[in-house]
Amino acid sequence: MSKLAIIGGTGLSKLVNLERVRKRVVKTPYGEPSSPITFGELNGVDIVFMARHGYGHNIPPHRINYRANMWALKEVGVTDVVAIAAVGGINRSMPPASLVLPDQLIDYTWGRASTYFEDDLEHVTHIDFTTPYSVELRKKIKRAMYKAEIAVFDKAVYACMQGPRLETAAEIIKLERDGCDLVGMTGMPEAALARELALNYACCALVVNWAAGLEGGEISMRDIEGHAEAGMIKVEHLLKVLVYE
């Protein structure tokens, strides 16, 4: 039996349609997760929800305890994780309001606790990460997107930047040269930790702004939050269909 968790990012600190909601504080060997874990029913199906930045959206990307978050989800029996992420669009065919299922990523972050395999080891472990997102889970999300009549972009490279600042225009030109289509700040080490714990993990990215320099002007937090809020209505619609896949 699979058990689905949704990790909510910017614009999604709670699921409005969740019923019979319970919260549980989960302790982990890696410290505290971003928030207590929420259990509830979405469209009659039991799911788990976690607010990546905390329920008050007050934990910046580089301070998120990714190890504790993923450990806590595993601990409560989760098998599948759909990570919702607000991103900037680099690829011109992915404008704000697009929902994208990246199939690859490049990690540009530094200094984050990014593995469970470092202390008290009997031997060194290198996980395979050729395909960073679960093929099966991406198929399920894709089916749900068709059913929910949401346009599907399912080939994209996600660039994970350190943040919390946004990028310079030159950094975005470099990312584009690197082959990146989307830019965010929270996709790593989350995806790698999920793989270390043998969780099926996929990212559902909502484009909330054109990446720096693509439109000429500055990017304001207000614009990002406005697009995130509007886009999350689409995400909530998708999730209600996804629970039946």
Residue 205 interacts with ligand HPA (CB under 6 A)? no
> Whole-number minimum distance, CB 219 to ligand HPA, in Å?
6
Residue 235 interacts with ligand HPA (CB under 6 A)? no
Tokens 């994209």: give the residue.
156
Residue 64 interacts with ligand HPA (CB under 6 A)? no
Count of positions on this chain that bind ligand HPA (CB under 6 A): 13
Comparing every residue's Cβ against ligand HPA, the nearest one is: 88
Q: Are 15 and 55 in contact (CB under 8 A)?
A: no
Question: What are the φ and ψ backbone dihedral angles of 104, each rounded to 5 degrees?
Answer: -145, 165
Q: Which is nearer to ligand HPA, 70 or 84 (CB)?
A: 84
Parallel, antiparallel, or unpaired: how do β-strands 104-107 and 182-184 relate? unpaired
Q: Is 147 helix (H, G, I), strand (E, B) or coil?
A: helix
**C-alpha–C-alpha distance, residues 68 and 31, integer Å:** 6
List the interface residues with ligand HPA, window 119-148 (CB under 6 A). none
> Whole-number minimum distance, CB 188 to ligand HPA, in Å?
12
Q: Which is nearer to ligand HPA, 9 or 132 (CB)?
A: 9
Residue 87 interacts with ligand HPA (CB under 6 A)? yes
**C-alpha–C-alpha distance, residues 225 and 11, integer Å:** 7
Encode burial over 70-83: b for 16+ CB neighbours within 10 A, e otherwise: bbbbbbeebebbbb
**C-alpha–C-alpha distance, residues 223 and 241, integer Å:** 28
> Whole-number minimum distance, CB 95 to ligand HPA, in Å?
13
Q: Binding ligand HPA by CB under 6 A: which of 80, 167, 181, 196?
A: 167
The span of 72-80, 126-134, 148-156, 204-212 binding ligand HPA (CB under 6 A) equals: 204-212
Parallel, antiparallel, or unpaired: how do β-strands 80-89 and 4-8 relate? parallel
Q: Which is nearer to ligand HPA, 194 or 206 (CB)?
A: 206
Structure-block tokens of residue 220? 């304001």
> Whole-number minimum distance, CB 161 to ligand HPA, in Å?
5
Binding residues for ligand HPA, rule: CB under 6 A, are: 86-88, 161, 166-167, 183-185, 208-209, 211, 224
